[in-house]
Chains A and B, each alone.
Chain A
Amino acid sequence: MKILVVDDEPDVRLLFEQRFRREIRSGEFAFSFAYSGEEALTFLREHPSEVVLILSDINMPGMSGLELLRHVKQDPLPPPPPLVMMLTAYGDTETHAQAMQLGANDFLTKPVDFGTLKDKLHAITIL
C-alpha cells in the first residue's frame, strides 16, 4: 500500500521509516514524503492512482492540511481518490468538525500513537 505522508517537519520521515521498518521491509507499506501541501499535490499529479492513503499534518505554512484535504476530495484526480487521515496537534472539536466536513476519513492527534496508527493501517489493507 502506497502511503503519502505530508508534514513540514523533515524528521517525520525518519520516524516513520523506523516505526514501520518491518512493514517497509516486508513490502506491506511503501512510504513517500512531501513537506508541504503544494508538494503533496504535485506528487499526486505525477503519480496518478498510486497513492492509497494520505497522512497529513494540518498546521503547515502555505497550504494547510485542511486545504490539501479539500483539494484531494474535490479536485478531479484520477480515481480512486485516496483516503485521507489527518495527524495534527490541534485536537479541538472545531478542527475535528471542519476536517470531517471536508471529507477526512480519520482524525488523529499528535503525539501520534503509532500502535493505533498501525492498527488502522492494517485495517485498510484488509479492506
Chain B
Amino acid sequence: MGTPTAIGLMYWGRKALDIPTRLPQWDRWLTRLWRPAAVIVALGLLVGGPVFDWVDNLFAASVLCGGLAIGWQLRAYRPALWMTVALLPGTLLLIAELVASPFTKAMNTSTFDNIEGLVLCWAGALLLVARSQAKSLRAEAEARRAAEQEQLTLETQSQTLEYEVGLRTAALARQTDELRATLAELQATQDQLIQSEKMASLGELTAGIAHEIQNPLNFVNNFADVSVELVAELAEERARHTRDRTLEAELLADLKQNLHRIAQHGGRAAGIVRGMLEHSRASTGERQPTDVNALADEYLRLAYHGLRAKDKSFNATLQPALAPGLPLIEAVPGDLGRVLLNLFTNAFYAVQKRQQAGEPGYAPTVRVCTELAGQWVKITVGDNGVGIPAELQTRIFQPFFTTKPSGEGTGLGLSLAHDIVTKGHGGTLSVASAEGQGTEFVLLLPAGKP
C-alpha cells in the first residue's frame, strides 16, 4: 500500500531533515497529512478495489512529490539533496504507473518488478547515504558548538583571572608600602636606641668624669692659693730691711712652677670635658691621628672611677702595659674611646662578679696592652673575671644580647663596638675566654700612615 509507506517515509524524512526547524510553514502542512492518510487507509480497508488502489497511489505520489519539493527547497543541505535524488526515480515510476494504468492493464510484470526492485534499491541506498551524511553533519555542528562554548568559557575565565590579578597586585602594592613604612620606623627606632645607649654609657661615665675633673680642679685651686701665699711672702721679704735674695729667687722659681702646674691641670680638665663631649656627640666619622695609648689610659681610669663611684667596696688592680713609641693611627677618637670604654666596663663587671662570689685570695685584675704587630696596632683588654661560656662567645656581639639582669645593660655595647671597629676602622675585634678564669678581647687596628 502506497499511502502508509509514503506517510512513513514522510515522517522519517521530516525527522531526518529536521523540517520543523528548517521549514516551519511546510511542516504545518506535513503534520496535517495524517488525516487524509487515515481516511484513505480506512477506505482501503472498507472498500478496496482498483479505483481505491489508484487513489492510494495518487496520494502516495503526491506525498512523494511534496517530499521532492521540500528536498529541492533544502537542496543546500547535502543530505536533503541525496534524499531528493533517492526518491526521484521512485516518484517518477509511481507517476508513470498512475498515468499508464488505465491504458495498460497487462504491463510486463516481470520487467516492472525489476524496475521496481531497482528503484527500491536505489532509494534505500541513497537514503542510507543521506542519513550518514546527516549524522556526520550533525556531529560537525555539535563539535563546532562545543568549541564555541569552550572559547566562551575560556574568555570568561581569562577575564575573571585578569580581574583577580588586578586585585592581588593592588593588595601587594599596599603591603609593600606598609612594609616600607615599617622599615623606616624601625630604622628610626634603632637610631634612637643607639643614641640612648650612647647616653647611657655617658651616664655611666658621669661619676668617673666628675671625679676625674675634680682632681685637676683641686690642683688649680690649691696651686693658686699657694701662689697667693708665696706672693705675700715675697712682698714680706721685699719689705724687709735685709732681703734674703736666695729666698726671693726660690720663691719666684716656685711661683713660676706653680703657674705651670695650674696651666697643666687646667688643660687636663679641659681635655676630659672635650673627651666627654666627643663621646656624647653623634660621631662625625672624621678620622684623625690618634694616640691609642693616651686614649686607653684615659678611658681605663674613667671606667674604673665610674664603677667605683657606684660601688665603693670595689677595687681592682689595673695593669696598663702601653708600648712606648706606638705610632699614631687614623681613628675617630670618640668612637674608639667608646669601644675601649665598653671593653673596660665589661672587664670590670666580670671581675666584680667574680669578687662577689667570695673566692678566697682572689685579686681582681684588669690589664690593657698595646703593641705594634706588623701592619696592625694590637690592643688587648684582659681580665681574670668570671669568663664567658663557649656557647655564648659568638652571641656576645649580637645587638641586644646581654647576660646582665634586666635594666642593667642595653646589650648594644659590644655590637656597637664591633661595628665601630670593623666598619668604621677596618679592624677586627675578637674574644678568647675560659669560663671561671677570665676573658681577653683583642682589637686589631690598621697602623697605616696617619
Contacts and interface: CB of A to CB of B under 8 A. Distances in A.
B308 A61 contact: no
A92 B312 CA distance: 10
B190 interface: no
Contacts of B214: 89, 110
Interface stretch (B43-51, B122-130, B219-227): B219-227
A89 B308 CA distance: 12
A106 interface: no
A90 B254 contact: no
Contacts of A98: 312-313
Interface string A79-105: 000000000011010110010000000
B257 A67 contact: no
A110 B221 CA distance: 11
Nearest to B220: A111
A116 to B, nearest CB: 13
A23 interface: no
A90 B261 CA distance: 24
A61 B297 CA distance: 12
A26 B363 CA distance: 44
A9 interface: yes
B258 interface: yes
Given A90-B312, A111-B222, A62 B317 contact: yes
Contacts of B318: 61-62
A69 to B, nearest CB: 13
Contacts of B304: 61
Interface string B294-317: 000000000011001000110101
B305 A18 contact: no
Given A59-B305, A90-B312, A15 B222 contact: yes
A110 B217 CA distance: 11
A15 B215 contact: no
A89 B219 contact: no
Given A59-B211, A59-B305, A18 B312 contact: no
Interface in A1-59: 9, 11, 14-15, 18-19, 59
Contacts of B230: 18
Interface string B263-286: 001000000000000000000000
Given A14-B223, A62-B318, A89-B215, 18 more contacts: A11-B261, A15-B222, A18-B258, A19-B222, A59-B211, A59-B305, A61-B304, A61-B317, A67-B315, A90-B312, A92-B312, A95-B312, A98-B312, A110-B214, A111-B217, A111-B221, A114-B222, A114-B225
Interface of B: 211, 214-215, 217-219, 221-223, 225-226, 229-230, 254, 257-258, 261, 265, 304-305, 308, 312-313, 315, 317-318
Interface of A: 9, 11, 14-15, 18-19, 59, 61-62, 64, 67, 89-90, 92, 94-95, 98, 110-112, 114
